């Protein structure tokens, strides 16, 4: 069996199988080529909405820490979310329910996992997101700031945090350097203008003095002070 090719609606298409969920309270596995139903997952009390597939991954397991009640690690598993307010994990091989995740007070509308497939996130019509240990079935965290139903989830790790509100030392240092060079340019302009005035032997031409004053003011405004 291959990994997930794509996810569309409430069906998952794999290299060899198609998975679907229904308001008939079941999830089903179909042979992609023949259309035959090869597995039925029963146990939810109301319609099933989102579905996920997680392939077995034994390479990440430390044999010294491995627990007997976590044999689920050795299996391909299916995860479903239901209108009965629960999520469930299922053995792909046998169709049996492995764990039930209880805590939401309304239908579970979306599912997601972390990149390693160890943490499950459930989004619900009760306006909360809950994080779970997939293999122990324990709740890890609740996110409860939304004011309406959660309709989609996306998990992305290692996003660099963007600083807001506070400016870094590097920002102020670079700004200081920028102002310094602007000040040097203005000083050069002012000195050049003064030298020009001196060369004119202290001319009393009011128009020329006005132009000199205007150029100095433009230079000062350029510094933004």
Positions in the chain whose pLDDT score sits under 50: 1-10, 58-69, 161-165, 225
Question: Where do the domains of the chain lie?
Answer: 4-143, 169-222
- DSSP symbols for 167-191: --HHHHHHHHHHHHHHHHHHHHHHH
What CATH number does domain 4-143 carry, 3.90.1150.10, 2.130.10.10, 3.40.50.300, 3.40.190.10?
Answer: 2.130.10.10
Task: Summarize pLDDT for 105-151 with one digit per residue, the tens.
Answer: 999 999 999 988 899 999 999 999 999 999 899 999 999 999 999 99
| Contact predicate 60/114, CB 8 Å | no
Contacts of 203 (CB under 8 A, 6+ apart): 197, 209
């Amino acid at each position: 069996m291959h990994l997930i090719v794509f996810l569309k609606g409430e069906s998952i298409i794999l290299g060899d199988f198609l998975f679907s969920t229904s308001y008939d309270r079941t999830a089903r596995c179909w042979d992609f080529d023949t259309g035959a139903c090869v597995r039925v997952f029963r146990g939810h009390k109301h319609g099933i909405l989102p579905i996920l597939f997680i392939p077995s991954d034994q390479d990440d397991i430390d044999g010294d820490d491995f627990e007997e009640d976590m044999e689920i690690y050795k299996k391909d598993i299916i995860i479903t979310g239901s209108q009965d307010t629960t999520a469930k994990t299922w053995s792909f091989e046998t169709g049996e329910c492995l764990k039930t995740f209880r805590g939401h007070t309304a239908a579970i509308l979306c599912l997601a996992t972390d990149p390693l497939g160890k943490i499950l996130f459930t989004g619900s019509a009760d306006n909360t997101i809950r994080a779970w240990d997939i293999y122990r079935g324990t709740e890890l965290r609740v996110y409860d700031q939304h004011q309406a139903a959660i309709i989609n989830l996306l998990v992305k790790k290692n996003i660099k945090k963007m600083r807001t509100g506070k400016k870094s030392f590097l920002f102020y240092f670079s700004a200081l350097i920028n102002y310094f060079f602007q000040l040097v340019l203005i000083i050069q302009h002012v000195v050049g203008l003064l030298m020009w005035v001196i060369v004119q032997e202290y001319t009393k031409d009011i128009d020329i003095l006005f132009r000199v004053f205007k150029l100095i003011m433009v230079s000062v405004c350029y510094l933004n002070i």
